[in-house]
Structure 1
Amino acid sequence: MVPARLSVVTLAAGSVGELRAFYGRLGWPEVPGSGDRWAGFLLGGAVLALYPEQSLAAEAAPGETAGAWRGVTLAINVDSRAAVDEAYASALDAGARAVAEPQERPWGGRSAYFADPEGNRWEIAYAAVAELGPRGEVVGFG
């Protein structure tokens, strides 16, 4: 089963540093570990993440032509590495299109990507730094 939750919205950033500064000026609290290569802001139970455009495209749209992907991913954080694989298989069984098989990521977690029928990218991720509450909401990050 794919959990019914939204944990992270990731924006593909041309300049993580510039976007980070902008959201900082809004007064949004950064999560620990934020920097100019990746930044996150805890927003009422979910995380807004900023990730370099090229790096995010390599994960969420491997092999696709420029412009075919919208530059935004929605993430469902799960409690274990095994849960990534289970939820990914459930998504494919429900009619999702495979984008990136479950795999270990350079940032230390495990994730997979699928696309819904209109091409929106969903990531199923396990990240040890994501602290989830009883409803799957993000209560801490980092």
Structure 2
Amino acid sequence: MGDVPARLTVVTLGARDLPTLRRFYATLGWPQVDGSDDAWAGFLVGGVLLALYPLPELAAEAALAATAPAAGFTLACNVDSAEQVDTAYEAALAAGATPVAEPTTREWGGRSGYVADPEGNRWEIAYASSAVFDARGALVSFG
């Protein structure tokens, strides 16, 4: 035990239309890593790499059913204030996201709303007072 470090370094989204998905995240203003193009793209987001990779190639590498929709997970972008949830939600819509659930105050005390990127990946834009970030925007504690 202990040979696998407790860290998340890359989240890869299998893209059906990588150029469109890449343009969406670039429109949000997220910084692309060197070497990004319309065949593979990476965005450095708070210490984690969000990678975009063609879905058929990802399916072959990771033994995924390329036609099965992903279910049971969401991605999240936590922000610094409850008010910023609404601002970020509107910015995502302006960049081409589809509204899924408007921002609302949650029973757990925070605020969040959901959007979908151009391929339907669900993003929660959330504020939780217990979230603490470092200078890079990486989550350093929660709770």
Checking the alignment, whether the CA contact within 8 Å between 2:28 and 2:95 is kept in structure 1 is no
Count matched residues. 85
Structure 1 length-normalised TM: 0.53
Q: Is the Cα–Cα contact under 8 Å of residues 114 and 125 in structure 2 kept in the other structure?
A: yes
1:123 Cα shift?
Answer: 0.5
Segments of 5+ residues of structure 1 without an aligned counterpart are 8-44, 47-66
RMSD: 2.5
Opposite residue 117 of structure 2, the aligned amino acid is D
Distance in 2 between the 1:91 and 1:69 partners? 21
Q: Is this contact kept in 2: 1:6–1:74, CA < 8 A?
A: no
Identity %: 56
Give the secondary-structure state (helix, strand or coil) at the position aligned to 1:117. Answer: coil
The structure-2 alpha-carbon separation of the partners of 1:135 and 1:80, relative to structure 1 and needing over 3 Å to count, comes to same
Change (3 A) 1:92 1:99: same
Give the corresponding residue for 1:75.
Answer: 76
Deviation at 1:134, TM superposition (A): 1.0
Q: Deviation per CA, 1:88-132, whole angstroms, max 9, x where unpaired?
A: 000000110000001001111000100011110001100001111
Q: Which amino acid aligns with 2:125?
A: I
Which ranges in structure 2 are unaligned for 5 or more consecutive residues? 1-26, 31-43, 49-67
The aligned residue for residue 141 of structure 1 is 142
- CA shift for structure 1 position 6: 5.4
Q: What is the aligned partner in structure 2 of residue 129 from structure 1?
A: 130
Runs of 4+ residues deviating >2 angstroms: 1-7
Structure of higher RCO (CA pairs closer than 8 Å, 6+ residues apart): 1
Q: Distance in 2 between matches of 1:77 and 1:91?
A: 13
Structure 1 Cα separation of the partners of residues 127 and 103 of structure 2: 10
Matches within 5 A, 1:1-142: 4=30, 70-142=71-143
Query: 2:138 and 2:132 mapped to 1: Cα distance?
Result: 8
Q: Is the 8 A contact 2:77 2:126 kept in 1?
A: yes
- Quote the Cα distance in structure 2 between the aligned partners of 1:97 and 1:131: 28
Q: Which whole-Å CA distance do the structure 1 matches of 2:29 and 2:77 have between them?
A: 7
Distance 1:72 1:94 in 2: 22
